[in-house]
Amino acid sequence: MFDYTFHWRAAYKALPDMLAGAWVTFETAALSMVFGVIIALLLTLMRQGRNPVLRGFAATWISIARNTPSLFQIYILYFGLGSFGLHVSSWFALLAGITFNNAGYLAENFRGGLKAVPDTQLRAARSLGMSAAQAYRLIVVPQLLRIVFYPLTNQMVWAVLMTSLGVIVGLNNDLTGVTQDYNVKTFRTFEFFALAAVLYYLIAKAIVAVARILSWRLFRY
């Protein structure tokens, strides 16, 4: 009943290609985090602000990003925009989709983090003659960074795993794309995807490890 013979040699031979794919995966995730953090900060500011249009825009973004499947978010960006005549590359659709998702989740984290830094810290900073901008930059943000650091790490791992969705919009040079290409050619599904899973696992673990080392250096208190 179990007469499948494993062929790991084929998978090992594909390893260099898959590692190149893993790099694309990591790069895409890292980029989506950089943009995600910037947009999340803007969304957080918009939501704190007085302008009802901006507040509504931010609330809608966060709400949609967190309550719809990330698969759909990428799909709509690729095929949905395509049907309006706006054609973007597979890679761009993936990057934009994950960035959209990251920004929504991170904005929510930042809001919680801001609440966790007491108002009295701002007050004490202002009482020493600091401008509002200085007080945020020197007192509030450093404390906020520590509070959101682990959620940020989680989101980075999540972003790496989400890049595997690129295959549904035709991306073929990231880790999943490369793996899928080999799978289609050889039908060694188990071997290739098991190897790819190991690589995803290692990337995720490496991110957590680097984050831990970073947090030792950054947060001395």
Partner 1 sequence: MIEIDNVHKSFGELDVIKGVSLRVNKGEVVSIIGGSGSGKSTLLMCINGLESIKSGSIRVDGTEVHAPGTDINKLRQKIGIVFQQWNAFPHLTVLENVMLAPRKVLGRSKQDAEEMAVKQLTHVGLADKLKVFPGKLSGGQQQRMAIARALAMSPDYMLFDEATSALDPQLVGEVLDTMRLLAEEGMTMVLVTHEIRFARDVSDRVAFFRNGLVHEIGTPDQVIGNPQKPETIDFLKSIN
Using CB under 8 A, list all residues that contact partner 1.
120-121, 123-131, 134, 138-139, 142-143, 146, 219-221
Nearest approach, Cβ of residue 64 and partner 1 (Å): 34
Nearest approach, Cβ of residue 37 and partner 1 (Å): 19
Give the nearer residue to partner 1 in terms of CB position, either 133 or 213.
133
Give the nearer residue to partner 1 in terms of CB position, either 148 or 165.
148
Nearest approach, Cβ of residue 135 and partner 1 (Å): 10
Give the nearer residue to partner 1 in terms of CB position, either 132 or 209.
132
Give the nearer residue to partner 1 in terms of CB position, either 56 or 118.
118
Q: In terms of C-beta density within 10 A (0-12 exposed, 13-18 middle, 19 or more buried), how is residue 6 classed?
A: exposed
Nearest to 41 by CA among 58, 29, 65, 57: 58
Q: In terms of C-beta density within 10 A (0-12 exposed, 13-18 middle, 19 or more buried), how is residue 107 classed?
A: buried
Angle between helix axes 141-162 and 90-116 (nearest 10 degrees) is 150
Give the nearer residue to partner 1 in terms of CB position, either 136 or 190.
136
- Report residue 25 CA to chain centroid gap: 11
Neighbours of 143 (CB within 10 A): 16
Task: Write the DSSP string, 137-201.
Answer: IIIIHHHHHHHHHHHHHHHHHHHHHHGGGGGGGT--SSHHHHHHHHHHHH--HHHHHHHHHHHHH
Nearest approach, Cβ of residue 148 and partner 1 (Å): 14
Nearest approach, Cβ of residue 216 and partner 1 (Å): 15
